[in-house]
Structure 1
Amino acid sequence: MSSDGYLDPESDSYDSRPQFYIGQHDTARSETLTDAQYTHVLNSGFDFVTTPITNHHFRQRVVELYKSHLQDREQWGLSDVAKTNLSLPGPVVPTLTDEDTSYGPSSYVGSLIAYSSPWIDLCSPDPIISSISRQVLNMELVYASFCGARSVIIPGPREDESSSAVMQYSRCIQEALQAANRINIIVHMPMYREPGLEEKAATLSSLLGKANGAGSSAEKEIDIFTTWDSWHTVRSVCNYSARLFVALRIPKRIPEKNLQERWFAEPLHYLTLGDHIFQQNAAGRPSLSRHHQDLIARYMRLKHYPWLILSDVGPGIEALDNLPDPMAIEFPSLAEASKALKESRKPMPTRNNYVAYMKHVERQQPPYSAMETPPLRSFQDWLQSPLQPLADNLESATYEVFEGDPVKYNQYEHAIANAMIEWKGLNKPTAQSPENSDLVVAVAGAGRGPLVTRVIRAAESTGTSIQLWAVEKNQNAYVYLLRQNNLIWNNRVTIVKTDMRGWAGPTSPSGQPYKVDILVTELLGSFGDNELSPECLDGIQRHISRPHGISIPHSYTAHLTPIATPRLFADIASRVVADPNAFETPWVTRLFALDFAAQKAPGHPRFQQAWEFAHPVEISRADQFAERHGNAVKFHTVGGGSISGSSGVNDHNARHCHLTFVCPTRGVIHGLAGYFESVLYASQVQGGTEKVEISILPDQIDRKSKDMISWFPIFFPLKQPLLFPPDSEIEVSMWRQTDDTKVWYEWIVEAYAWVGPKTRVKVGQSEMHSSRKVACLM
């Protein structure tokens, strides 16, 4: 399939919605399918099949091993107390034989998903049973790896109440990752402990007549987050291993959104759907509730969307065992050959009803939107270092990516046009020029000129006569601008190659300087100010005419919210060896697989404003301010209250915030998500047009700048995940710091829990993080 066809909606190969890959799992299966059985299952519509690694013969050998060990201890004449002596040698599981497994290397091993024995009891309080279980698990994983398995599903803990049992299970998974170091381990977990739908498979403890310790769920209050707690313990003990995933068992009754989003953020590999969650429709065929369909559709929007496993929906063991074996008769008689020929002419097995229904659900999914094109999906949770726009010169391809967003430039053009209309409507004077009285417009940081084009279009649409200047420091982009001016703009633009902070301003042919009426820039970053827009505008705003001059954008605000994003945490943790500053770098990323820790509460919204910048700076001595602060890097006299080694002339661009977020349910925080909003132009006419805005806030982007893709959010990570209990308050402190040569951020997160009507205690705190070593250079 060519990439062109993949991107072209008119192509037959274009994927307009996620594709379902559907597997079959039979909880009663104890042997690997034969070639004929495997082919039969695939012909029923399935894409892959699960297979046990060992069989009942091996299980019985393990049971006998335990019993013989107890008999040996009896023969040794040990007392009851001595029988529990852990210093005595325990049983060692002997190696696998060909009688213990029918699983092995095959041409289709990639379509077989190995499933570890459900009777393995890692959580048993009996140290002998847990030791045997651990040995069996490692043996199965190593053998599956030898056979070519790329991943193995392991049943999760049976219950969550015993922290000792869950920790014991977690330790075994950590060891298994080391023992089988070339395969992925997928822990099979229920979304929550749904009463009546617990695991039915016998464990080694129950096979030996031991109590497994799990109480009756019918007598307990249901806490829907306990299974997530257990999973969090497992992956924390395993240090967020990149080879550890979740197979999530979908319940019959879909839980509240909070839990759905919590699991959405986790590394999902499979969604498993048992026969019990399907209903019968009027035609007697299986169907899912609307809530189940919505959940699946939501999870399928992930870049690496999970595959689906249907459990116990057929074809079952009996049907597969009764299939004719084409290899049963090596030298058939004529009669036998005739019979085999007739058998081969039987119609292929019809598509399984459950598979047919799931394919119907696949077709009913919403098509990919404009925000879900293949390139945009590829950016989901992909970490990018922030740009250094002042220190580095961008490549043409980078400019081209930015220019591919029509929403952003439409909003800019709308803002410029509104400013021109109102300028004329209010009869404002233009900047004084000896030659003419045209409106003077400057585009600072012009790049390849997209804003220049939009200024020209706005002037033409409003009938405004303008004098247009374009300022750009990138010498390579400067060449491109000159060519654009000759070929596209009809030499209507005066192009200046310089850093905007050092620009002397517009001048007449006779050398007479004058001011700018409208200054247009696109210096905004994912956090608003993180690409040094305030510092750049300090250096050029002295050229804006006073008091009527306009800056577009007019203002911008930074916003924060705490989030859980295990995938990003694991990604950053894997980079620390090569990049020691990975956890102190504000990463630009299209946040997607995340869970918002905070909920909206009175006085405490989910997304909170950190600070704001507005331009031009409204002060009475603007020229003196610009003369000093617009050239801050030239001053080296240390101010008494400034950071050591700086003059303090950029201190007015430092900021601090302290925000409080409300978290009703317990959870974990891996960092802070940062967003921005900007007012490009605010009407100066009473009762005039509404503000022209752009926003990347999740709850505002559709209202203010729908489908805008120019900016992804910014992510401020935490070195260690911060776990918090229910009814917590998360307090975030952040600073924007500067020493006149660079700008960086510092952040710290605290968790408080209420223990009384008026009393709360601190239950957790992150380290103080600082991006000073990777600061944005001025």
Structure 2
Amino acid sequence: MASSGNLSPESESFENRPVFYIGQHDPARTEVLTDEQYGQLLDSGFRSVTAPITNKHFFDRVVELLRNHQKEREQWSQERGLTATQQANPSLPGPVVPTLTDKDTSLFPSNYIGSLAMYSSPWIDLCSPDPLISSVSRQVLNLEAAYANFCGARTIIVPGPRQDDSSSGIAQYARAIREAMHVANRANVIIHMPMYREPGLEEKVETLASTLAPKNGLEAGTKKEIDLFSAWDSWNTIRSVCNYSMRLFVALRIPRRVPAKPLQERWFAEPLHYLTIGNEIFQLNRAGHPSLSRHHQDLINRYMRLRSVPWLILEGVGPRPEELGALANQTASEFPTLAEADQALKERRRSHTPALHAHVGYMRYLERQQPAFSAMETPTLTNFQDWLQPPLQPLADNLESATYEVFEGDPVKYDQYEKAITEAMMEWGELKKPTSTATPENPSSPELVVTVAGAGRGPLVSRVLRAAEITGTPIQIWALEKNQDAYVYLLRKNKVEWGNKVTLVKTDMRGWEGPRLKGQQGVIGKVDILVTELLGSFGDNELSPECLDGIQQHLARPHGMSIPHSYTAHLSPISTPRLFADISSRVVGDPNAFETPWVVRLFALDYVAQKAPGRGRFQQAWEFVHPVEVARADDFAAVHGKAAKYVTGGVGSMAGATGANEHNARHCHLTFACPTRGVIHGLAGFFESVLYASQTGAGKEPVEISILPDQIDRKSKDMISWFPIFFPLKKPLYFPQDTELEVSMWRQTDDTKVWYEWLVEVYAWVGPNTRVKVGATDLHSSRKVACLM
């Protein structure tokens, strides 16, 4: 699904950059703008505006209700001789807020209601320790949410908690939000949260508590020490209580001082709907125009790279309603005749050219100054951001032509393969290696036997032929493909493009009898160079080890080589609430959703682990190297018999397995350092592969491909053939600061299929040499969705 930014009228001008949607929020606004005022606001450059659901009349009515209730309670206590410190009867009925009337709101259904962001009353206090205040606040929120939902509102913004100190208060708030989402069952609910509690930027709004007891002040004193993650902690509690609802979002208030990267990345992973920028964040430049610091610009540019681009709301910026009203009075009478209305419209067109508001003009300038989309940010790739795909099963299923075409659209991968094949052919001659076409009559035959196993539609075959031409290497080339439909395509390609130079064989590579050498009647030879592209997002998850086991018996020993030569799998724990919410929504139709390793272009995520001595952010799980010299399938068959793998109750580690594939089982235990507290939703998996490592000893760099975030630009920049793999957790795992995450993972096999099992544990240091376990996940297993051999 395309980004909503592509639908903007400005997208034609800035199609190679994200589009800014700019809205306006006036905290002092108590009435909905009139149609005329709204139109004038649009003329000044804003694209949306917030609208209060209720007005001052409703506030006064609620305050009066509470005061009357307080008087009744005081009178009741006096009649019974209770002192002020003695508690009144808790069974006394509390105040009930009556339904809204037309005097309580100026919001009514309209044609443009969908473009308004409804803003709930900022004077309610859902976290209040006073049960009367919190109860009335909850009632007000429900009344407003229900009415906004009736009017057709798409979004309802609710001011977030004002403090993060009280866990009971945050729990109260979270429970109230969950109830309001049930009431407004068609609208998105957006919690207005600060990035962190920055001193001097606290909300200074008259609340129910401050109105009823002014002596208590608006807020408690500001802490000297700032906890950067306390606001995020509150948000995490809210969305956890709301079960990661797909209708719950964040409106993030940008601070005056931009925090460190870990906090920026934490919020980047959250479901951002709005970025709000207050008037106090802007600075005047030398020309006296509003501007933002370089740090603010970088933060906005980063967040605008999300697939669902957050809207920008300028808070306390823009013309006031009374200013808009004054302009309206200047341009038209209240009840003009048709002639007067037509004349006023003509005069306005001649004399009034809408000018962008100064702050909007500056944001449009920033829009144009954003870095252009890179090669990895094409519309197609952007649409794949955080989009879950089940991994391919190439052994069990035959791929369609369109799937092959997607893979072939990545020149980087095939350029690296061609480079590896070229170097292998060049060094073959330099090292004077024998060839498999050599015979007693012709011991110095120069022809190399090259096999492309799993040829698909033939892109690797083309690269082998090109490498042979570049190096001047005579070859005999075989291409194996089990997909009968792709085989038809290969037959045509061999005639049209390859000049019938390729011997095509329709077979599963594991059952191939070997190359029948040309010019040697009936002789089945060996393979000098075996080329495959069987790698998956985790390296081995598409059963490359098992496939190569079945064909490497045809490799010439000891000089035969495999391209790729080796590959490693890597893991990193991540926070990705969007994916957790997505998978949660699939569980009803797919009970195995949380135990399926998903292929996904991870984007809105936070790598919670940090680099520390002996602890990397990305750590190697295991490695496979080819060719395998021992424990191959043919060696096993020679010892145990070809039918041994079908015998149950054998020697394998899994019940019912014989152990024929035991050498491809793996296990790892990794430790990740987490200096800041947070929550993880799963493990991100990556791979690296050495396609060819020089055998001349000349110190050449190996030819590699990688999808590791910190290595891809160095080893295979802009390669798009593989997205990472995601191993989800059934329940989010929270961890405190200065902890270690212990990740255990197994690659399991029972000789007929391969699956993964994973477990995460949290340990906290309580002394110089003592750790305690403070959390753990269930053992997850993908056995029910295993990759079939």
Normalising by structure 1, report the TM-score: 0.95
Structure-2 change in CA distance of 1:501 and 1:213 (3 Å): farther
Q: Greater CA deviation, 382-391 or 427-436?
A: 427-436
Partner of 1:666: 677
Residues in 2 aligned to 1:46 and 1:631: alpha-carbon distance in whole angstroms: 74
- Of residues 116, 119, 122, the one that matches 1:118 is 122
Structure-2 change in CA distance of 1:425 and 1:334 (3 Å): closer
- Offset of residue 324 of structure 1: 2.8
Q: Greater CA deviation, 369-378 or 72-81?
A: 72-81
Residues in 1 aligned to 2:597 and 2:344: alpha-carbon distance in whole angstroms: 71
Partner of 1:715: 726
Structure-2 change in CA distance of 1:621 and 1:334 (3 Å): closer
**Cα deviations across residues 671-714 of structure 1 (Å, max 9, x unaligned)?**
00000000000000011531000000000000000000000000
- Offset of residue 90 of structure 1: 1.1
1:418 and 2:423 correspond: yes
1:85 and 2:89 correspond: yes
> Does the CA-based 8 Å contact 1:116-1:154 persist in structure 2?
yes
> Does the CA-based 8 Å contact 1:673-1:713 persist in structure 2?
yes
Partner of 1:147: 151
Task: Give matches, 1:482-631, under 5 Å.
Answer: 482-508=491-517, 510-619=521-630, 624=635
> Does the CA-based 8 Å contact 1:247-1:272 persist in structure 2?
yes
- Offset of residue 506 of structure 1: 0.3
1:23 and 2:23 correspond: yes
Partner of 1:735: 746
Q: Greater CA deviation, 618-627 or 413-422?
A: 618-627
Q: Greater CA deviation, 50-59 or 14-23?
A: 14-23
Structure-2 change in CA distance of 1:657 and 1:535 (3 Å): same
> Does the CA-based 8 Å contact 1:119-1:204 persist in structure 2?
yes
- Offset of residue 399 of structure 1: 0.6
- Offset of residue 756 of structure 1: 1.2
1:391 and 2:396 correspond: yes
Partner of 1:644: 655
Residues in 2 aligned to 1:110 and 1:267: alpha-carbon distance in whole angstroms: 20
Normalising by structure 2, report the TM-score: 0.94
Structure-2 change in CA distance of 1:84 and 1:705 (3 Å): farther
1:377 and 2:382 correspond: yes
Partner of 1:446: 455
1:308 and 2:317 correspond: no
Residues in 1 aligned to 2:780 and 2:338: alpha-carbon distance in whole angstroms: 80
Residues in 1 aligned to 2:548 and 2:18: alpha-carbon distance in whole angstroms: 45
> Does the CA-based 8 Å contact 1:632-1:649 persist in structure 2?
no
1:699 and 2:710 correspond: yes
Partner of 2:254: 250
> Does the CA-based 8 Å contact 2:562-2:627 persist in structure 1?
yes
- Offset of residue 433 of structure 1: 5.2
- Offset of residue 199 of structure 1: 0.3
Structure-2 change in CA distance of 1:715 and 1:341 (3 Å): closer
1:54 and 2:57 correspond: no
Residues in 1 aligned to 2:656 and 2:390: alpha-carbon distance in whole angstroms: 27
Residue type matched to 1:749 in 2? Answer: V
Partner of 1:72: 72
Task: Give matches, 1:333-482, under 5 Å.
Answer: 346-432=351-437, 437-482=446-491
SS in 2 for 1:72: helix
Residue type matched to 1:565 in 2? Answer: T
Q: Greater CA deviation, 297-306 or 315-324?
A: 315-324
Residues in 1 aligned to 2:312 and 2:176: alpha-carbon distance in whole angstroms: 26
Q: Greater CA deviation, 424-433 or 79-88?
A: 79-88
Structure-2 change in CA distance of 1:582 and 1:122 (3 Å): same
Q: Greater CA deviation, 344-353 or 765-774?
A: 344-353
> Does the CA-based 8 Å contact 2:636-2:660 persist in structure 1?
no
- Offset of residue 665 of structure 1: 0.5
Residues in 1 aligned to 2:114 and 2:741: alpha-carbon distance in whole angstroms: 45
Residues in 1 aligned to 2:684 and 2:356: alpha-carbon distance in whole angstroms: 46
Residues in 1 aligned to 2:591 and 2:99: alpha-carbon distance in whole angstroms: 43
> Does the CA-based 8 Å contact 1:169-1:234 persist in structure 2?
yes
1:206 and 2:217 correspond: no
Residue type matched to 2:494 in 1? Answer: N
**Cα deviations across residues 533-559 of structure 1 (Å, max 9, x unaligned)?**
000000000000001001000000000
Structure-2 change in CA distance of 1:117 and 1:213 (3 Å): closer
> Does the CA-based 8 Å contact 2:37-2:321 persist in structure 1?
no
> Does the CA-based 8 Å contact 1:193-1:227 persist in structure 2?
yes
Unpaired segments ≥5 residues, structure 2:
none
> Does the CA-based 8 Å contact 2:450-2:530 persist in structure 1?
yes
> Does the CA-based 8 Å contact 2:207-2:218 persist in structure 1?
no
Residues in 2 aligned to 1:135 and 1:263: alpha-carbon distance in whole angstroms: 30
SS in 2 for 1:152: strand
> Does the CA-based 8 Å contact 2:676-2:737 persist in structure 1?
yes
Residue type matched to 1:67 in 2? Answer: R
Residue type matched to 1:311 in 2? Answer: E
> Does the CA-based 8 Å contact 1:472-1:478 persist in structure 2?
yes
> Does the CA-based 8 Å contact 2:652-2:662 persist in structure 1?
no
> Does the CA-based 8 Å contact 2:437-2:448 persist in structure 1?
no
- Offset of residue 208 of structure 1: 1.1
SS in 2 for 1:323: helix
Residues in 2 aligned to 1:143 and 1:454: alpha-carbon distance in whole angstroms: 65
- Of residues 273, 277, 294, the one that matches 2:277 is 273
Count residues in correspondence.
771
> Does the CA-based 8 Å contact 1:734-1:747 persist in structure 2?
yes
> Does the CA-based 8 Å contact 2:437-2:447 persist in structure 1?
no
Residues in 2 aligned to 1:552 and 1:114: alpha-carbon distance in whole angstroms: 59
- Offset of residue 281 of structure 1: 0.4
Partner of 2:44: 44
Partner of 2:295: 291
- Offset of residue 636 of structure 1: 2.1
1:187 and 2:191 correspond: yes
> Does the CA-based 8 Å contact 2:610-2:616 persist in structure 1?
yes
- Offset of residue 220 of structure 1: 2.8
- Offset of residue 349 of structure 1: 3.8
Residues in 2 aligned to 1:336 and 1:512: alpha-carbon distance in whole angstroms: 96
- Offset of residue 107 of structure 1: 1.4
Residues in 2 aligned to 1:223 and 1:671: alpha-carbon distance in whole angstroms: 26
**Cα deviations across residues 507-541 of structure 1 (Å, max 9, x unaligned)?**
13621110000000000000000000000000000
Residue type matched to 2:232 in 1? Answer: W
- Offset of residue 644 of structure 1: 1.6
> Does the CA-based 8 Å contact 1:535-1:630 persist in structure 2?
no
- Offset of residue 330 of structure 1: 2.3
Residues in 1 aligned to 2:488 and 2:340: alpha-carbon distance in whole angstroms: 85
> Does the CA-based 8 Å contact 2:645-2:660 persist in structure 1?
no
Residues in 2 aligned to 1:385 and 1:334: alpha-carbon distance in whole angstroms: 65
Structure-2 change in CA distance of 1:725 and 1:621 (3 Å): closer
Structure-2 change in CA distance of 1:416 and 1:337 (3 Å): closer
SS in 2 for 1:324: helix
Q: Greater CA deviation, 503-512 or 136-145?
A: 503-512
Unpaired segments ≥5 residues, structure 1:
none
- Offset of residue 214 of structure 1: 4.2
**Cα deviations across residues 147-191 of structure 1 (Å, max 9, x unaligned)?**
111011100000001111111100100111111111100000000
- Offset of residue 71 of structure 1: 2.4
Residue type matched to 1:520 in 2? Answer: V
Residues in 1 aligned to 2:137 and 2:781: alpha-carbon distance in whole angstroms: 45
